[in-house]
Amino acid sequence: MSSATTTAPESGHGHHHHNPEDRLALLKQIWMFSTDHKVIGIQFLVTTLLMLMVGGALALGVRWQLAFPWENMPFFGLLFPTEGGQISPEAYTMLFTMHATVMIFLVIIPVLAGAFGNFLIPLMIGADDMAFPILNALSYWFMWPAIFCFGASFFFGGGPGNGWTSYPVLSAVPEAAPGSGFAQFFWLMGVTLVGVSSMMGSVNYMTTIINMRAPGMTLFRMPLTIWGMFITAILQAFALPVLTAAGFMLVSDRMLGTCFFIPSGMVINNADPTVGGGQPLLWQHLFWFYSHPAVYIMLLPAMGMVSDMLACCCRKPIFGYKPMVYSMAAIAGLGFIVWGHHMFTSGMNPALGMTFMISTVMIALPSAVKVFNWIGTIWGGRPEFNTVFLNCVAFVSMFIVGGLSGIFMAAVPVDIYIHDTYFIVAHFHYVLFGATLFGVFGAVHFWFPKMFGRRMDETLGKWHFFLTFIGFNGTFFPMHLLGVAGMPRRYADPYLHPYLENLLPMNQFMTICACLMGFAQFILLFNFAYSLFKGQKAGMNPWLANGLEWVAPSPPGHGNFAAVPTVYRGPYEYSAPERDDDHWLQTEPPKSSPVPEPPKPEPTPDSAPVGEDTGSSS
């Protein structure tokens, strides 16, 4: 398992990447049309980290307006010289729409599936690359037209102002939202393009995970990261086409005169009543049929990665591996039948409300199983309080807060009161930022050595973590209180309502915390760039972890492994009592039988006895 035998990268020189020039060569690859899954993963990572900053800036714009309504906005104000630096209500609407859009479609989904999915899947299952490398590269390069479309939507008619949910009829009739003309079109095209990108990714991941595992890597020896990625890919594959289809319908309602979502006889701006016959609620159904599974797409890979990191940090086997797998599958399955909980107040058929309430409460069960298993993993462990571990603990604890507020909202009577208030905003920021992003921060620190051969700086990492954690809770916890006090989301000036006036100081406090949090992200970026060149050198296995990726060199060369690894056990054999070593690599042959025993045929759902001498396959 010496790194010296690894295949050299395309450039043909340098095997170890231990000097800056090689890392520069690697960095250069980032901008080339590479089909290597690691390069594509890093491309995704860099892109999404930059988009994170963009999305964060947009959020600060929103926060400014809520804390200092109608005061000239710093930086953003420059974009609105006509209003003298003030932002208009339409611009405010655009800010929160684009904040959500950027964060969801350009940060969280691509950083999980695109960046870590790409980098980790082949490494963790012992494959040399993805099943379809060119498709993989395309899935990255489709991000750019999407980014272009979202960017373009800023500049046409004041930007899209329908929220990330883009409900018709507001979004379906160009005259309905003055100035939203082409912006909404570009926005929808952007969503479609990221959809195409995700689609290519997900078919690729599924094929790779099913068909390209190293010998001995049975389904139940796969790390939970892989399970998370696999289930996410399945969710994408079956939910996303519905959104794409709905998106096409909405575009054609706007541009081609169709009326899927436009009812008949609607009068806008005192114009003639529309011809129509469609139903606006249909969009909500189709949209959430994708977007509820999508919130799990935005979580499951992080759940998987955190499970792997926690087990490694605590030097303990993951608590309840199979329940973890089954609960992820249950979340995915149930995730398909709960979408209506976003529509409790939409006027949908009350019979559906009850059904969706029950299924939503049920989905909390597998989520809770996972939480208990993480706690069980930490319990009695010997964690070192490093950046990775801190971020993982933040993941678990913030997910508990977000999950609990979810259960509140799952109850129809409660939700009727808090729907579309800041309580909802608190909920999804606790799960999306509090859980997923802390998980991602942890993962960046954990796999950085594998990506670049160097560790990230611990001190900077801890500063980043604590400032983000404090800023995060300072920003989002008070949102629960605002929501219960009745502050609606998406209002440019809530203080027009006298009953909300007293919430201004709290909003100002939150904005200050948000600025702190935004500032902290620069530490992350700095640490990332700094460690790339100056970080402490890392060997093959800096964390003494068990997974297959740790038997490849850091960074792995083209083709990943010197020889095809053979897998003898699951990835969680930490502190095994029969061993002195506290870790036990998946590839280490059992002592008892020095000759590697042929791995058992794997229990695929396929009834055919696969795994027996299919060596001749192409």
Partner 1 sequence: MSHAPAKPAVHMGLPLPNSKLGMWLFLGTEIMFFTAFIGTYIVLYFGSPGWPTDNNITHLKIWAGGTNTFVLLASSYFVVVAHEAMAAKNYKKAWNFLALTMTLAFLFLGIKGIEYKGKFDHHILPGQIPETSLQAIRQVEGKLEGYVNETTDRLVPGDDPVHIKLLNVSTEAGETKDPDKKRQLDDLGLITAEFNRFRAEVSANTLELEEAQQRIENLHHLAVVKLKDGREITGAYFPEEPPKDAHAGHGEAEGEAKHAHRRETGDVSLHRPEVAKETRLILESNSNTAEDGSVQVSHQWVVLSPGDVEEVHHVGEGVEHIHIQSVIPYGNLFASMYFLMTGFHAIHVLVGMTLFVFPLLRGSRLDASWADWVENSGLYWHFVDLVWIFLFPLLYIVPGNI
Partner 2 sequence: MSEISHDTGSHAHDDTHHYVNYFLIFIALCICTGISVLFDVFKGGIPKSALVFGVMAVAVAKALFVMTYFMHLKFEGAWKFIILAPTAILAVGLMIALAPDMAMHYYTNDAPQVKWVGGEHAEEVAETEHSEHSEHQHEHGGH
Which among 78-86, 112-120, 342-350, 535-543 is the span making contact with partner 2, rule CB under 8 A? 342-350
What contacts 580, CB < 8 A, 6 or more positions away?
none
* Three-class DSSP category at 488: strand
Of 38 and 292, which has the nearer Cβ to Cu ion?
292
**Which listed residue (2, 12, 578, 613) binds partner 2 by CB under 8 A?**
613
150, 54 Cβ separation under 8 angstroms: no
**Which listed residue (23, 63, 99, 213) binds partner 1 by CB under 8 A?**
213
Which among 20-28, 93-101, 233-241, 532-540 is the span making contact with partner 1, rule CB under 8 A? 233-241
- 275 counts as binding partner 2 under rule CB under 8 A: yes
- 603 counts as binding partner 1 under rule CB under 8 A: no
Of 296 and 561, which has the nearer Cβ to ligand HEM?
296
- CA distances to 324, 392, 401, 609 from 398, rounded to whole Å, are 19, 10, 5, 44
Which among 143-151, 168-176, 546-554, 606-614 is the span making contact with partner 2, rule CB under 8 A? 606-614
- 257 counts as binding partner 2 under rule CB under 8 A: no
**Which listed residue (27, 152, 242, 362) binds partner 2 by CB under 8 A?**
242
Would you mind telling me the total number of residues written for the chain in this entry? 618
- 165 counts as binding ligand HEM under rule CB under 6 A: yes
- Residue 174 touches which member of ligand HEM, Cu ion, partner 1, none, C-beta under 5-8 Å by kind: none
- Residue 210 touches which member of partner 1, ligand HEM, Cu ion, none, C-beta under 5-8 Å by kind: partner 1
**Which listed residue (241, 347, 539, 590) binds partner 1 by CB under 8 A?**
241
Q: How far apart are CA 585 and CA 4, in angstroms?
A: 19
**Which listed residue (163, 181, 215, 488) binds partner 1 by CB under 8 A?**
215
Q: What character string, x for contact with ligand HEM (CB under 6 A) and - otherwise, covers 400-419?
A: ---x--xx-xx----x---x
Q: How many CB atoms lie within 10 A of CB 546?
A: 26
| φ, ψ (nearest 5 deg) of residue 216 | 90, -15
Residue 291 beta carbon to Cu ion: minimum distance, rounded to whole angstroms: 7
- 52 counts as binding ligand HEM under rule CB under 6 A: no
- Of 584, 594, 599, the closest CA to residue 550 belongs to 584
- Of 347, 443, 604, the closest CA to residue 120 belongs to 443
- 216 counts as binding partner 1 under rule CB under 8 A: yes
Residues paired with residue 488 on neighbouring β-strands, in sequence order: 421
- Residue 363 touches which member of Cu ion, ligand HEM, partner 1, none, C-beta under 5-8 Å by kind: ligand HEM
Residue 443 beta carbon to partner 2: minimum distance, rounded to whole angstroms: 29
* Three-class DSSP category at 560: coil
What contacts 508, CB < 8 A, 6 or more positions away?
67, 68
381-413: string of b/e by CB count within 10 Å (b at 16+)?
bebeebbbbbbbbbbbbbbbbbbebbbbbbebe
Which among 64-72, 415-423, 500-508, 607-615 is the span making contact with partner 1, rule CB under 8 A? 607-615
Q: What character string, x for contact with ligand HEM (CB under 6 A) and - otherwise, covers 280-309?
A: ---------------x--xx----------
Residue bearing tokens 């993963």: 41
456, 387 Cβ separation under 8 angstroms: yes
- 82 counts as binding partner 2 under rule CB under 8 A: no
- 611 counts as binding partner 1 under rule CB under 8 A: yes
Residue 239 beta carbon to partner 1: minimum distance, rounded to whole angstroms: 8
**Which listed residue (150, 562, 570, 571) binds partner 1 by CB under 8 A?**
562
Q: How many CB atoms lie within 10 A of CB 325?
A: 20
# binding residues, ligand HEM (CB under 6 A): 23
- 351 counts as binding partner 2 under rule CB under 8 A: yes
- Residue 214 touches which member of partner 2, partner 1, Cu ion, none, C-beta under 5-8 Å by kind: partner 1
Residue 474 beta carbon to ligand HEM: minimum distance, rounded to whole angstroms: 21
Which among 77-85, 263-271, 503-511, 522-530 is the span making contact with partner 2, rule CB under 8 A? 263-271
- CA distances to 13, 17, 223 from 552, rounded to whole Å, are 18, 13, 16
Identify whether 555 is preceded by a cis peptide bond (ω within 30 of 0).
Answer: yes
Q: How far apart are CA 77 and CA 73, in angstroms?
A: 5
- Dig out the tokens for 564 from the structure: 């095809």
**For the chain, counts of helices (H) and of strands (E):** 19, 0
Residue 402 beta carbon to Cu ion: minimum distance, rounded to whole angstroms: 12
- 266 counts as binding partner 2 under rule CB under 8 A: yes
Of 292 and 370, which has the nearer Cβ to Cu ion?
292
Of 419 and 455, which has the nearer Cβ to ligand HEM?
419
Q: How far apart are CA 361 and CA 348, in angstroms?
A: 19
* 32: exposed, middle or buried (Cβ count in 10 Å: 0-12, 13-18, 19+): exposed
Q: How far apart are CA 47 and CA 49, in angstroms?
A: 6
Q: How far apart are CA 301 and CA 328, in angstroms?
A: 10
| φ, ψ (nearest 5 deg) of residue 49 | -65, -40
Of 411 and 506, which has the nearer Cβ to Cu ion?
411
**Which listed residue (68, 70, 80, 132) binds partner 1 by CB under 8 A?**
132
| φ, ψ (nearest 5 deg) of residue 195 | -60, -45
* 418: exposed, middle or buried (Cβ count in 10 Å: 0-12, 13-18, 19+): buried
- Of 437, 436, 438, 456, the closest CA to residue 446 belongs to 456
- Residue 84 touches which member of partner 2, ligand HEM, partner 1, none, C-beta under 5-8 Å by kind: none
* 516: exposed, middle or buried (Cβ count in 10 Å: 0-12, 13-18, 19+): middle
Q: What character string, x for contact with ligand HEM (CB under 6 A) and - otherwise, covers 328-347?
A: -------------xx-----
- 558 counts as binding partner 1 under rule CB under 8 A: yes
**Which listed residue (1, 30, 53, 242) binds partner 1 by CB under 8 A?**
242
Contact residues for Cu ion (CB under 5 A)? Answer: 292
What contacts 151, CB < 8 A, 6 or more positions away?
none
143, 47 Cβ separation under 8 angstroms: yes
Footprint on this chain of ligand HEM (rule: CB under 6 A): 165, 295, 298-299, 341-342, 360, 363-364, 367, 403, 406-407, 409-410, 415, 419, 424, 427-428, 431-432, 436
Footprint on this chain of partner 2 (rule: CB under 8 A): 238, 242, 263-267, 270, 272-273, 275, 279, 281-282, 285, 289, 336-337, 340, 347-352, 604-610, 612-614, 616-618
